[in-house]
Amino acid sequence: MDAVAHASAVEQGPNLRQRLAARGFDAVTLLVVPAAIFSLLLFVYPFAFGFVLSFEPKAGGDWLANYRRFFSDPFLYETIANTLWLAIPVTLVNLLLAVPIAFRVRLMRNQRLLTTILVLPITLGTVLVAEGLLNYLGPQGWFNRTLMTFGLISQPLKLVHNYWGVFASLVITGFPFTFLLTLSYVTGIDPALEQAAATLGASAWQRFRHVYLPLLMPGLAITFCLSFVQAFSVFPSAVLLGEPAGSTRVISIAAAQAAFEEYDYSMGSAIAMIMGLVQLGIVVAVLASRGLFYRGPASGAKG
């Protein structure tokens, strides 16, 4: 077998294996195959399956029936507006808080304690935060009690089982996420650039506006996108802390209800596809506007 292969290699030049190796395909490359197959089976295939399934309505009708039903039933199509009404303000608040704080924390020598505290709500997860906030923000909770002790309010504010409960939970879990991402981008910018600007007489605001902000913009766009898609797919806290039949009936609730309460997987998939499309639309819009800003090295000059 080997001898035959060798003989033909002399006659025909490099054999298939050698030609593949020259293009980077050899035994080592094959190591990627298990993970790739896994990803195709459990990620690409379900997505494609769900996409096709969404055009095969359970109740019959033509292929667009699910989508037509979604956009004609206010109980369904209003979930998009409800979700956007939560996700966009929360993401903006998180980002607007994260940027100045990241700029301050970057100067700190020992950031570890703060970053550790901030990583707590992310690792604890939305379910625990929802359970904690139910007590803490409730009418008898410490938050309202403190405000009343200081005389800021005379009656407890209603902060749970409505829009603000979900908003608070998205800030508690979302802000650390946004902040840590922003911090990693801010610390990636060479401080020498700021020092150069300061030497040339730029004020703090000018240094931020004309040196840091343009360099930071691509990173902020990515941060916005990642924070937004997280907030947009809010599920447990919208059920536990909001009013899942009213103002915080978000799109993931509608999708989960259709698929796992009405057992209409076709409709559930259709709503999941719409959810993905809205996310994609916002992400593409944000990333496209990134092209309007500076793109280039964020490290010091010299090579």
Partner 1 sequence: MIRDTTLGARLWAAAVWTTVGFFVINLIAMIATVVTSSFATRWLGTWLPAGWTTRWYTSAWSEFQLWDVLIVTFQVIGAVVVISGVLGVTAAYALARREFRGKRLLVLLFLLPLMIPSMTFGIPLATVLYRTGLAGTFWGVVAANLVPTVPFVILVMIPFIEQIDPKVEAAARVFGANTFKLFLYVLLPLLLPGILAALLLVLVRTIAMFELTFLVAGPTSQTLVVALYYAVFAAGVRAVQSIDAMAVIYMVTTLIWLIIALRFVNPTQIVTRAKQPAH
Minimum separation from the CB atom of position 62 to partner 1 (A): 21
Please select the residue that binds partner 1; options are 143, 147, 162, 193, rule is CB under 8 A: 143
Please select the residue that binds partner 1; options are 144, 248, 279, 282, rule is CB under 8 A: 279
The reply to whether 136 sits near partner 1 by the rule CB under 8 A is: yes
Binding residue count for partner 1, defined by CB under 8 A: 99
Report the distance separating Cα 280 and Cα 270, nearest Å.
15
Question: Whose CA is closest to 82, among 285, 253, 213?
Answer: 253
Q: Which stretch binds partner 1 (CB under 8 A): 6-14, 55-63, 65-73, 139-147?
A: 139-147
The reply to whether 110 sits near partner 1 by the rule CB under 8 A is: no
26-45: contacts with partner 1 (CB under 8 A): 26, 28-32, 34-36, 38-40, 42-45
The reply to whether 259 sits near partner 1 by the rule CB under 8 A is: yes
Residue closer to partner 1, measured from CB, 161 or 163: 161
The reply to whether 115 sits near partner 1 by the rule CB under 8 A is: yes
Q: Which stretch binds partner 1 (CB under 8 A): 8-16, 57-65, 71-79, 123-131?
A: 123-131
The reply to whether 167 sits near partner 1 by the rule CB under 8 A is: no
The reply to whether 89 sits near partner 1 by the rule CB under 8 A is: no
Residue closer to partner 1, measured from CB, 9 or 124: 124
The reply to whether 84 sits near partner 1 by the rule CB under 8 A is: no
